[in-house]
Amino acid sequence: MKRIYGLLLIAGFSLLGACGGDSSLPEATGKASVRAINAISSSQQINLLIEESAIGTATYTGTTPAARYDDLDYTFSIEVFYAGDQAFRRVASQFIDFEANKDYTLLVSGSLAAPTITLWEGDERTFDAADTVFEAKFAHASDSLGSVDYYFADPAVVPVLGEQVATLSFGEVSVPVDYEAGDFVTTITAAGDPNTVLYQSETTTFAAQSALVVTSFDGSATTAAPIVVRALNTLGGNISLPDAGVPPTIEFVNASMDLGATDIYDDELLTTQRITNHDYLGQSTETDIAVDDNTFYYTPAGDTATVLLEGTVPAFGGTRYRLVAVGPAGDLDTRVVVPDRQPVETHAKLNLFNASYNFDFLNVYAVDADTSIDEAIPVSVALASLQAVATVRLAAGSYDIYVTEFQDTVVLAGPYRIDVVEGDIVEPLIIDTVDPAVLDVHFLSGGPP
């Protein structure tokens, strides 16, 4: 046995030596970086994979962090998750033969049903410790726009034809340019026409030693602006560049049973009335507000002798806000919400808000229609009093909504029947009733017929 083993061992070494002598396997000589930008407005999130390994995720107008790999060839894939599925769906793939020290960006656009990948290739950028500049590229991912000119300059500089930093069509990216750190305004105009301004940012301070892709996207239902612009960095973060020409908006919701009907003013002297007779469960129309800290004053309807409540909204350009009045008498308050109004292809959205002050924590169930909650798992656990939570994703179907106290299955409210398809948005507002042991649900959108 010993002799046979020795012969096999020698043969094995001989075989390995022969294979190693003329190996055709590629050898890496360096590394390159890759990332993906999500330009599909109807997607909640995309996942980027290298072969079968996850790299990162990106929501709409966002980017995955840049990841570095050996300069070999790879297939990169985009996956998404549809509510009700058991696994992610692969919707697109891109083969890339890496070259050392290159930066590869996959712009993912179109729809999830038929996505398009546009590959941008550039050089990786590094900075020395003493560098006072940043690098900027400019990209066009606004499907609703034609060809555009980008201007990027000091706030005092007016766009003049010939001074644009890039002229781009959809899916294109400019060459990189270095700028000294400081204040800049980004302006997008129709190509060849600096007088047709499609977008102009507020003044933004850019720091040194960052490599950015300043990218336009179509606005979503969550924004008041038709075009949004992000400065995307290699770490996966972004700088939002609000449109200075599009004011933020606000709607008011009265979720306090004790507040009563109120008038709402936007100045301390109570001279500018915004909302009249805002009663319990009232939901106002949207109105423009300033890009600033906006303070609103609630008074009894028709009476300016007493301010019952104040609420402040720090607002950025082009954002749609909701100010919710909450709390019992003696402890009135407001909550600022940026509602998720964007329909997506992968699921319906259940945007919950707990306006009850009689229960500290609640569980919310969304079970198949005519199904008991006895063996069900809540879709939201320990929803805190006077708080909103992240969106709950629902597959298309018919559901009954129930509310119970945390760690209890005694029904406090429900069932409420909802029928949803992908793209629907349902906004239940959980509220107290005159009976402190009973709750109710008021639907701000998408509720029962």
pLDDT-derived band at 417 (thresholds 50, 70, 90) equals very high
1 has a pLDDT exceeding 60? no
Instruction: Tell me what the pLDDT averaged over the chain comes to.
Output: 93
3-state helix, strand, coil in the chain (%, to 5): 5, 50, 45
SS3 sequence of 240-300: ECCECCCCCEEEEEECCCCCCCEEEECCCCCCCEEEEEECCCCECCCEECCCCEEEEEEEE
- Classified by CATH at the fold level, domain 29-124 comes out as Immunoglobulin-like (2.60.40)
Same fold, 29-124 and 125-246: yes
Q: Which two tokens stand for residue 100?
A: 């050392």
Q: Give per-residue pLDDT as tens, 269-280.
A: 999 999 999 999
In the chain, the percentage of residues whose pLDDT exceeds 90 is 90
CATH number for 125-246 (one of 3.30.70, 1.20.140, 2.60.40, 3.90.220): it is 2.60.40
Element of type H or E holding 442: strand 439-445
433 has a pLDDT exceeding 70? yes
| Cβ count within 10 A of residue 415 | 19
Q: Which two tokens stand for residue 343?
A: 């329909």
Number of residues that make up the chain: 449
341 has a pLDDT exceeding 70? yes
Average pLDDT over residues 340-364: 95
| Cβ count within 10 A of residue 114 | 8
pLDDT at 449: 76
How far does CA 406 lie from the centroid of its chain? 29
How far does CA 206 lie from the centroid of its chain? 22
Q: Give per-residue pLDDT as tens, 114-172.
A: 999 999 999 999 999 999 999 999 999 999 999 999 999 999 999 999 999 999 999 99
pLDDT at 440: 97
For residue 448, what are the CA distances in angstroms to 86, 121, 280? Answer: 28, 50, 20
By CB neighbour count within 10 A (0-12 exposed, 13-18 middle, 19+ buried), where does 332 fall?
middle
7 has a pLDDT exceeding 60? no
SS3 sequence of 333-395: EEEEECCCCCCCCCCEEECCEECCCCCCEEEEEEEECCCCCCCCCCCEEEEECCEECCCEEEC
CATH class of 249-337: mainly beta
Domain boundaries, the chain: 29-124, 125-246, 249-337, 348-445
pLDDT-derived band at 447 (thresholds 50, 70, 90) equals confident
Whose CA is closest to 334, among 406, 384, 259? 259
20 has a pLDDT exceeding 70? no
Average pLDDT over residues 407-419: 95
Q: Give per-residue pLDDT as tens, 200-247.
A: 999 999 999 999 999 999 999 999 999 999 999 999 888 999 999 999
Termini Cα distance of the chain: 83
Tell me if residue 397 falls in helix, strand or coil. Answer: strand
State if pTM tops 0.85: yes
Q: Using CA of residue 376, residue 380, residue 385, residue 391, what is the dihedral sign?
A: negative
Q: Is the domain defined by 348-445 classed in CATH 2.60.40?
A: yes
Pairing of strands 53-58, 425-432: unpaired
> How many Å apart are CA 413 and CA 402, to the nearest integer?
6
